[in-house]
Amino acid sequence: MPKLSTNQWLAVVALLLGALAVVGEPYAGTRTSLDARELAMIVEGRADHVTAPELADWIMQGQTDYRLIDIREDTAYARYHIPGAENVPIHELTEYPLFRNERIVLYSGGGIHAAQAWFLLKAMGFPGVYTVLGGFDAWIDEVLYPAAPSATTPESMAEFERAEAVAAFFGGSPRGAGEEGELQELALPSVDLTSPVIVAPRKKRRKEGC
């Protein structure tokens, strides 16, 4: 071993590492493997779903531990979106700033595109991705304009009362039996401005800069 000073050793090591780097492939870690079997089990166990009423509860309780992503077109988003949703079309999803330690809830019109986006995010290594079961349509039908129950048991009446209250919170109203829930053109449910959660859009990405 040649007799080198500390500084000279450091220089040699640095130059060797630097030279070796020329053939290096630093993006090796960005490719994650898709475990097909694991994904199949998740889908089958319905662990990746959130129902529209559940989501409504989260919003009403002011929960902020999730990101709600609306992957529809911006015109549809502008017309009405679930409160707190961020509009990210699928092609922007890969670049959009999302953290892998966040729960991501996706919804589309009916649910098919959301399911596809679900696979995309799973492939990118996001552990906590969910879709809204039934998508935006389910929000209209089950949250905004819930149908009156056909039966009149105490349980279903209590449930319906709850659904009414939820609908009122979001500016909707129940519909009679047999009616189709339709997003009213004129009476667009306005976002409830008294709830602090809904007012402050949870788009605040944590600062990572200096």
Name the site residues for another protein (rule: CB under 8 A).
5-7, 10-11, 14-15, 17-19, 21-30, 32, 99-101, 125, 127-128, 200, 204-210
Q: Are the beta carbons of 76 and 109 closer than 8 angstroms? A: yes
What DSSP state is assigned to residue 108? -
- Helices (DSSP H) in 61-153: which residue ranges? 74-79, 90-93, 112-123, 135-138
Judged by beta carbon, residue 11 or residue 158, the one nearer another protein is 11
Kindly tell me which of 85 and 163 has the beta carbon lying closer to another protein. Answer: 85
* Lookup result for tokens 């209590």: 158
Compute the distance between CA of residue 106 and CA of residue 37 in angstroms, rounded to an integer.
22
Please, which residue, 24 or 176, has the CB nearer to another protein?
Answer: 24
CB contact at 8 A, 88 and 70: yes
Q: CA 91: distance to chain centroid?
A: 15
Phi/psi for 70 (5° steps) reads -100, 115
Give least dist CB 76 to another protein, A. Answer: 27
Other Cβ atoms less than 10 A from the Cβ of 58: the count is: 19
3-state secondary structure at position 198: helix
Give the shortest CB-35-to-another protein separation in angstroms.
13
Residue 19 vs 151, nearer CB to another protein: 19
Comparing CB distances to another protein, the nearer of 29 and 45 is 29
